[in-house]
Amino acid sequence: MSRRPFAPPRPAATTVPDDTGCTVLHVDMDAFYASATLLSRPDLVGTPVIVGGGHRGVVLSATYEARRFGVTSAMPMSRARRLCPQATVLRPDHDLYARISAAVMETFRSVTPRVQPLSLDEAFLDVSGASRSHGSPAAIGRLLRDTVHDEQGITCSVGVAPSLVVAKLASTLAKPDGMLVVPREEVLPFLHELPVGALWGVGERTEEALVRLGLHTVADLAHTPRATLERALGPATGGHLHDLAWGRDPRRVEREQRERSIGSSTTFESDLDDAVLIRRHLLALAERTAARMRAAGLTGRTLTLTVRFSDFTTITRSRTLRDPVDTARALHASAVGLLDALALQRARVRLVGVRMSGLVPVAQAPLQGVLGEREHGWRDADRAVDRARARFGADVVRPASLVQRDPSASAGAPRDLS
């Protein structure tokens, strides 16, 4: 079943809502990947734009103008083009997204140390200790929105509430480019007007099960006996949703958790059986993944290669390295080694992906020098490339093997695997 949009009436804006005790903020960038991509194409602002690529790739993001035609993230590009043929399609720039995300998260940490990123473009903040220096929770929300816009050129929406689940729902209702405060005494009226599918953690299957029980709104859910929900959904899920329906959410903002993995994948325009071309695609993926690791200040030891064949059979192979790495050369060498070990023998390949896990901050696991490597080696070269790309654009420096034929040009949109 399709998930229904929800938009209950917002509190009247004639007076400032009482934000006493609303110490949880959920900040969500508006159409982040599309907005960041448009920074270099201001002429396209206000028009339908899809970030992705290829006929067999998927949509990474779309502007609100394209979303009005039904285009959504993760939708096949072929369908998105049919729904909105007038849209401009732009290739993603994951290095740019990582840089902007790092700067935004640093802005959050300048207000409070209790920041819990959920992805590159959203995070929870606990501002209970920030009022003395930054003002009320609503004032902090306004400060963050203004700072992100002024420094990064993109907008964000903020939910201010007493709990995580209500703050996240509020930021969704505030989109785009808005802020919604849900006072403590209005939590239950706010929640009970929502459809059950709006609750954080209710997926399509859970929503279908609830609708079969005749439960369409959060109010319906709240007034259903807990035992009934536990029998229908299981003790853990049923009890958890019953608590959320009554505004009971004991979870707290956890301090920043490091990413568990970073990676990218490419779906080819047409299936490939040429090992040389596949290795070239792996080099582009290794470049992108290593750059994201360095931007995040991380290094990793375990590389996972994903290969999907023309019949959609998918296999993965992993290799754990002796020392942590963050260079494209090291990632590519490991990925090619795993690919060669598969002995594909002209098998037709639809998708390849590279992912690094076992991530730790560079400061906690200093990278070991390679025996025989010059003092200024591959890591220094990669960092010099990072600086050049940050100043002049992602395509200013590329490996020679990618210059004559750019694999990503025909490969579809790289997809974030983290």
- Return the DSSP state at 371: T
- Are 47 and 40 in contact by the 8 Å Cβ rule? The answer is no
3-state secondary structure at position 193: coil
In 3D space, the residue among 323, 316, 358, 320 whose CA is nearest the CA of residue 341 turns out to be 316
Of the listed 65, 106, 122, 259, which one is catalytic?
122
Burial class (CB in 10 A: 0-12, 13-18, 19+), 397: middle
What's the half-sphere exposure (Cβ side, CA atoms, 13 Å) at 255? 3
Asked whether residue 28 is marked as a ligand-binding residue, the answer is yes
- C-alpha dihedral (369, 372, 376, 378), degrees to nearest 10: -70
Contact 251, 396 (CB under 8 A): no
Task: Report the relative pairing of strands 179-181 and 156-161 from DSSP bridges.
Answer: parallel
Contacting residues for 157 by C-beta, under 8 A, at least 6 apart = 27, 28, 30, 145, 171, 172, 174, 175, 176, 177, 178, 179
In the annotation, is 373 catalytic? Answer: no
Beta carbons within 10 angstroms of residue 227's beta carbon: 12
Check if the beta carbon of residue 164 is closer than 8 Å to that of residue 26: yes
Strand partners, 195: 217
Q: Which residues does the annotation mark as catalytic?
A: 122
Q: Show binding-site residues for Mg(2+).
A: 28, 121
Q: Show binding-site residues.
A: 28, 121
